[in-house]
A = this chain, B = another copy of it.
Amino acid sequence: MPLIFNEEQRLLKDTAKEFLNSNAPVEALRKLRDEKDATGYSTELWRQMVELGWASIILPEAYDGLDFGFMGLGAVIEESGHTLSASPLFSTVVLGASTLILGGNEQQKQDNLPAIAAGELAFALALEEGSHHDPAAVKLSAEQNNEGYILNGKKTFVLDGHSADKLIVVARSSGEAGCTDGLSLMLVDANATGITRTRTIMADSRNAANISFDNVQLSADDVIGEIGQGFSILDPVLDRARIAMAAEMLGGAQECFDRTIEYLKEREQFGVKIGSFQALKHRAAIMYTELQLSKSVILDALSAIDEQRADTNQLASLAKARLNDVYQLVTNEAVQMHGGIGVTDELEIGFFLKRARVSMQAFGDSGFHRDRYATLCGY
């Protein structure tokens, strides 16, 4: 249970920090937004990230990977939270590569993992169908026919779904909505016949898509893992996503906090620095303690993935619930403590507030994860 980054991971983190500050600061996200960029991220930036090896951090060496694990990837993703850098890293690597690593057959791995490592393939996970995270609620149907399976249904809130090359679609091959049995994971070309993608621009200036599947024909080889047994792969993939998202949220919250503390030291009101007001001091100190506790849980959760610990699911829910709450607290306080300028678009704090809201919603809100944690603990 290493609760600290090792030398290698610290190096990776420092490099990421330097690179992102120079190449993808919050200002870059503002530019993508204001220019209504069609892709939603800079392909040039992504190429550079790939060159730095980020797309291959968690991949096994056999598939051109670095095999640095989630401690390594988490270190990079935490840094990307500081700068709110948009890239396909999360969807393609945390979601896409993880699914293939955990559930793909040799052919699927060979076909996709080296391409991911080379930055040639972008993935998205098409899971949600309602407005709240609920993996078991899937209704999109995968009916067996002579040629394989045929997909019908709709997906919503598919992160980076508009720009992905391939989709991993969570489909129901048997059972009823509400059951985890009968779910299947399908590897689908994002431009396959019958697929309609509608880009949805989200409040955080990132992108998602609503996707409809109208008689999309797949072959039997497109199934990842066993048919009907998809949840056994999906669940650990989602836990990785929750933990990685929480790592990003920690970076964002820390950045927002640091900026606020700086402001408290600079800004004067009534002839004194506002950071000298005790009420603000105490609120700042409380935020600091929350961030320190959060840091511990992110480190433990990342190492739980790498060590394949049985309590990874508990830690995923713990990390996501906590960072949901802490990111919300810190961004709300940051806006309030910045006062009038805090609610203008000119200041970058608003970008963190919006990113916090969207990331809180992705892969389960706090209620979802406290309920899950309690159930996992038997009460």
Interface residues in chain A, defined as those with a beta carbon under 8 Å from any beta carbon in chain B: 277-279, 281-282
Query: How many whole Å from A150's CB to the nearest CB in chain B?
Result: 39
| A to B CB contacts below 8 Å, 6 in the list | A277-B278, A278-B278, A278-B279, A279-B279, A279-B281, A279-B282
Q: Complex: how many Å from CA A281 to CA B281?
A: 13
- Specify the chain B residue showing the minimal Cβ separation from A277: B278
Q: Complex: how many Å from CA A277 to CA B281?
A: 11
Query: How many whole Å from A271's CB to the nearest CB in chain B?
Result: 15
Q: Complex: how many Å from CA A340 to CA B361?
A: 44
Q: Please give, as numbers and ranges, the residues of chain B lying within 8 Å of A281 by CB-CB distance.
A: 279
Query: How many whole Å from A45's CB to the nearest CB in chain B?
Result: 44
Q: Please give, as numbers and ranges, the residues of chain B lying within 8 Å of A277 by CB-CB distance.
A: 278
From A277, A281, A282, residue with most partner B Cβ within 10 Å: A282
- Specify the chain B residue showing the minimal Cβ separation from A280: B278
Query: How many whole Å from A127's CB to the nearest CB in chain B?
Result: 27
- Specify the chain B residue showing the minimal Cβ separation from A281: B279
Q: Please give, as numbers and ranges, the residues of chain B lying within 8 Å of A282 by CB-CB distance.
A: 279
Query: How many whole Å from A238's CB to the nearest CB in chain B?
Result: 28
Query: How many whole Å from A19's CB to the nearest CB in chain B?
Result: 41
- Specify the chain B residue showing the minimal Cβ separation from A282: B279
Q: Complex: how many Å from CA A281 to CA B277?
A: 11
Q: Complex: how many Å from CA A277 to CA B282?
A: 11
Q: Complex: how many Å from CA A323 to CA B264?
A: 36
Q: Complex: how many Å from CA A282 to CA B281?
A: 12
Q: 5 tightest A-B contacts by CB?
A: A278-B278, A278-B279, A279-B282, A279-B279, A277-B278
Query: How many whole Å from A289's CB to the nearest CB in chain B?
Result: 15
Query: How many whole Å from A12's CB to the nearest CB in chain B?
Result: 40
Q: Complex: how many Å from CA A278 to CA B278?
A: 5
Query: How many whole Å from A346's CB to the nearest CB in chain B?
Result: 29
Q: Complex: how many Å from CA A279 to CA B277?
A: 8
Q: Complex: how many Å from CA A309 to CA B92?
A: 59
Query: How many whole Å from A288's CB to the nearest CB in chain B?
Result: 15
Query: How many whole Å from A272's CB to the nearest CB in chain B?
Result: 12
- Specify the chain B residue showing the minimal Cβ separation from A283: B279
Q: Complex: how many Å from CA A298 to CA B278?
A: 34
Q: Complex: how many Å from CA A279 to CA B281?
A: 8
Query: How many whole Å from A337's CB to the nearest CB in chain B?
Result: 14
Query: How many whole Å from A184's CB to the nearest CB in chain B?
Result: 34
Q: Complex: how many Å from CA A279 to CA B283?
A: 9
Q: Complex: how many Å from CA A279 to CA B282?
A: 7
Q: Complex: how many Å from CA A109 to CA B281?
A: 62
Q: Complex: how many Å from CA A282 to CA B282?
A: 11
